[in-house]
Amino acid sequence: MASLHILLFDVGGTRCALRRNDVRELLPLPHLWRPPSLPKPLAGFFNLGGTAVSVVRMDVLFGLESQKAGTDNGLYRHLILVDGVTEGRPMAFLVDRVVDLALVDGRLVSPVREAGTLNGCVQGEIDIDGQLVHLLSVDRVLFAEEQQALSTLTQTAQSRLSEWTVSA
């Protein structure tokens, strides 16, 4: 197996990774708007060049809410921008910290049983310097029902954002 480029990040004290080619961009945490009654895993939305982008909290989604959450108001957290999860719209995962980009030997990725992971989103596990890293599948992090609900909420946010567009 060939080498694998991965993005390492922390979520609630757990080290995870995504394939580099699944990541569009890394962003500092912008100001998010959060309409009332959003589901708890949805941190809110931000405006990316006129496009409403939904932000999903991975710690809440995976039940790994940090005990220190709220002490820094999220100022040092990162967004991992990805495409293709919700009907061709970009979305972002809110994580505690992006750690590094790494190149690992694909033979070091140990397969996992799909039944033992949330929606089968953990594709494999990698031992990096004695620490277990969960390699996640970006398109399986959310259940199909969650993807549909997120798509609907994002369309609503996009409509609201479009109402404020001023033509030149």
Q: What is the pLDDT along the chain (168 residues), one digit of tens a residue?
A: 688 999 999 998 899 999 999 999 999 888 899 988 899 999 999 999 889 999 999 999 988 876 554 545 566 799 999 987 777 789 999 999 999 999 998 888 888 876 556 667 898 999 998 889 999 999 889 988 999 999 999 999 999 988 877 666
Return the domain boundaries, the chain: 3-162
Name the helix (H) or strand (E) containing 133: strand 131-136
pLDDT at 40: 93
What are the Cα distances from residue 133, in Å, to 38, 58, 60, 118, 161? 30, 15, 19, 15, 38
How many CB atoms within 10 Å of residue 141? 23
Query: What is the three-class DSSP state of 51?
Result: strand
Q: What is the CATH number of domain 3-162?
A: 2.40.50.180
Token representation of residue 135: 């390699």
pLDDT at 168: 61
Q: Tell me 37's DSSP state.
A: T
* Report field, pTM of the whole predicted structure over 0.85: yes
- Of the candidates 43, 2, 39, 50, which has an alpha carbon nearest to the alpha carbon of residue 166? 50
pLDDT at 1: 60
